Structure 1
Amino acid sequence: MTQHTVAALFRRALDTVPTYQPGKQPAVVPGLTPYKLSSNELHLPPLPEILETMADVPNPAGYPDPTASALIAGLSEYLDVPTGHITVGGGASEIISALARVTTETGTETVYPWPSFELYPQTAALNGGTLKPVALTAAHEHDLTAMADAITEQTRMVLLCSPNNPTGTSIKQDNFEAFMERVPSDVLVVIDEAYWEFCTDPDALDGLAAAKAYDNVVLVRTFSKAHGLAGFRVGYAVAQPHVITALRKAILTFSVAQLSQNVALASLHQVDVIQARARSVAAARDEFVTALRSQGWEVPDAHANFVWLPLGDLAERFEDACIAQAIAVRKLTDGVRISIGAPEAMQRVVDIAGKFRDDNDPSSRTKTPAIQPY
């Protein structure tokens, strides 16, 4: 089969879809424990209640509940919204992809911040839409004024990420409300709050309240991050019933396995513990930010379970320096994202960062602070 024939098999939209670039793996270094700080995973161990639920494996010959009725009922009680305002999917990623499928086609536009979650341009382009990325501000935050300016009659969806992946900055509530005053009612606004449990910004956008207040807003959250269930692939959306009805047509039936539904519900029953653990991660994050800033690094305000270093041309060299010391971090565009992990891992990154800064700016000799156990 010729190359021309193979290309003819696929939709033209595929040519515009960015290819996902996986992060590098840490080197094997004798005497050093390797740490993966590149995927924003929760490094804390599973709760005992989760392990108990995992041990009770449903009959694999049977299909899962296609309506996820027990999990949605639990979410309904927790979120204080009717069940008709909620749906679940195989992680937040499947829900965002489904939102693109119900809004995007050739001739339509999707507006999104950049840099942000890599899935946004991938899923919008795959559905034939035109991509309209809007650069972040100098403070690495959403430029909501510019995003509103980018909306045209062809815009069908706007994606927001708060806290933003990879920069960790949050959207302010008053800025969001001003933004929504400029958004037409026939444009769907998606609020991706994958990291909301870690957010300590008192002025941050309340995505749940927005989903209740606006007919054209959908909130997307996940059990992957603070709940530590990334491997079970469970996300959920909250919106008005007409949005949920459309979403349910685009989310694959049986996409959330029964064990995943059971584990997510068990974790929801431990939400107070989950949120306390998220606060401990946030405290460790803030300590890490303080350590980096004391070395002279520019670090944006961080409100997720990771920290962003805007390194420009030095980003790949810093990533490689971490890899050489058995630490995997994530280079994205012109910076490096570092997930919060065990204290030993964070101390090693601080040590690497101090030496890296000295090697690249000898006029600024750094003093490396110690990361305290948590």
Structure 2
Amino acid sequence: MSKRFLLRDALSQFPPYVPGKPPAGDTGLTPYKLSSNENHRPPLPGVTEAVAEATQTPAAYPDPKSTGLVADLAAYLDVDPAEVVPGAGASEILSALTNITLEAGTSVVYPWPSFEMYPILAAARGAEKRAVPLLADGRHDFAGMLAQIDETTRLVLLCSPNNPTGPSVRTEELEGFMAEVPENVIVALDEAYWEFATDAEAVDGLAAFREHPNLVLARTFSKAHGLAGLRVGYGVADAEIATALRQVVAPFSVTAGAQAAAAKSLARTDEVLVRAKEVAATRDQFAADLRDLGFDVPDAQGNYVWIALDDEAAAAFEDACAAQAVAIRKLKGGVRVSIGADEALDRVRAVAADFAAGR
């Protein structure tokens, strides 16, 4: 079919981003959405009130620099405000990183499967995508990624805990990797789910950032803080990199309501972390129950569990959950189940038990 307009040829190479399905609403059951790793807990006290107060004048633009939020984050993280870059979720920070590093003739290295935006962002910049398959246990293959880095490589993306498989990058793994990566190559550590991690060996991204100037952290208020609908996150980077990021982040992308909510939630981080560990305890029990049924479930460190299945079984499992008004996420090689209400997880357990009995 001929093109009517002068669009980029590279668009044909964009892998589609498929959001999590909503739950079926015609089953007679209470529907649950466990397909997008959303936080099922209610907002912390004061958060919705902060949003309402900050948005009383919707005609006014928000502070383009998120000055108050940046100051609060810098104090909480013990970094210089010049090293903090706010954005509309961690996704905007990752997009900005690809924008300041990638172009035609360059390459980006990342684990796969991992966050679905990685290949989309790389394709958008015209860079060569070098996806390195995960190890059998769902962990990053750091030796494989090192082997893919050459003089064209401008960016490496890491995900800890890895979405969708679940394991965290461990301190020893990252330190060994960073020792081998050229110092002028930027390495992004996507820590969207770091608050849920309970592995004693999980890397402390902030400590690693202080040791490696080419390491950039991408974090979000979407998951543990439960602010996904407000779209607010941040990057932590060397001041030189941070300055470049600010050049390409869209102006006013973090709304006044998002800034206020994030600041209010950040002030209650102790409560956020308690909640995250409660989710982690539920996650660990859910993962153990699935393993007891004979399913292959990697180490789970986010607010979700990965069930490794072939594509046919994954589709059938997703359909069976949908019949119980529970939406989960089928991806290549398995299904991802977000941690949600007890009733929703019990329905998934029942589906899993039926599957196990039918094997």
Query: Same fold by TM-score, threshold 0.5 exceeded?
Result: yes
Structure 1 segment 319-330 matched on structure 2, within 5 A: 319-330=318-329
Whether 1:33 aligns to 2:40 is no
Contact 1:29–1:324 under 8 Å retained in 2: no
Structure 1 segment 1-374 matched on structure 2, within 5 A: 3-6=1-4, 9-56=6-53, 57-313=55-311, 314-359=313-358, 361=359
Contact 1:158–1:189 under 8 Å retained in 2: yes
Code of the residue aligned with 1:39 in structure 2: it is S
CA distance in 2 between counterparts of 1:79 and 1:249 reads 23
Deviations 1:149-186 (A, max 9, x none): 11011000000000000001111110111111110112
Compared with structure 1, are the counterparts of its residues 12 and 42 closer, same or farther at alpha carbon in structure 2 (3 Å cutoff)?
same
User: Structure 1 residue 29: deviation in Å?
Assistant: 4.7
Code of the residue aligned with 1:151 in structure 2: it is I
Code of the residue aligned with 1:42 in structure 2: it is N
User: Structure 1 residue 330: deviation in Å?
Assistant: 0.1
Code of the residue aligned with 1:141 in structure 2: it is R
Deviations 1:218-262 (A, max 9, x none): 000000000000011001000110010000001001100111101
User: Structure 1 residue 115: deviation in Å?
Assistant: 0.2
User: What are structure 1's unaligned runs of at least 5 residues?
Assistant: 362-374
User: What are structure 2's unaligned runs of at least 5 residues?
Assistant: none
Contact 1:26–1:324 under 8 Å retained in 2: no
Matched residue SS, 1:338: strand
Code of the residue aligned with 1:231 in structure 2: it is G
User: Structure 1 residue 303: deviation in Å?
Assistant: 0.3
Which residue matches 1:369?
none
CA distance in 1 between counterparts of 2:26 and 2:168 reads 37
Segment of structure 1 superposing worse, 109-118 or 44-53: 44-53
CA distance in 1 between counterparts of 2:351 and 2:16 reads 30
TM-score by length of 2: 0.97
Percent identical residues = 53
Contact 1:25–1:323 under 8 Å retained in 2: no
| Residue-pair matches, total | 357
Matched residue SS, 2:2: helix
Segment of structure 1 superposing worse, 220-229 or 25-34: 25-34
CA distance in 1 between counterparts of 2:24 and 2:249 reads 38
User: Structure 1 residue 28: deviation in Å?
Assistant: 3.0
Deviations 1:63-111 (A, max 9, x none): 1111111000000110000101101001111110111010000000010
- For the aligned residue pairs, the C-alpha RMSD in angstroms reads 1.1
Matched residue SS, 2:180: coil
CA distance in 2 between counterparts of 1:48 and 1:163 reads 27
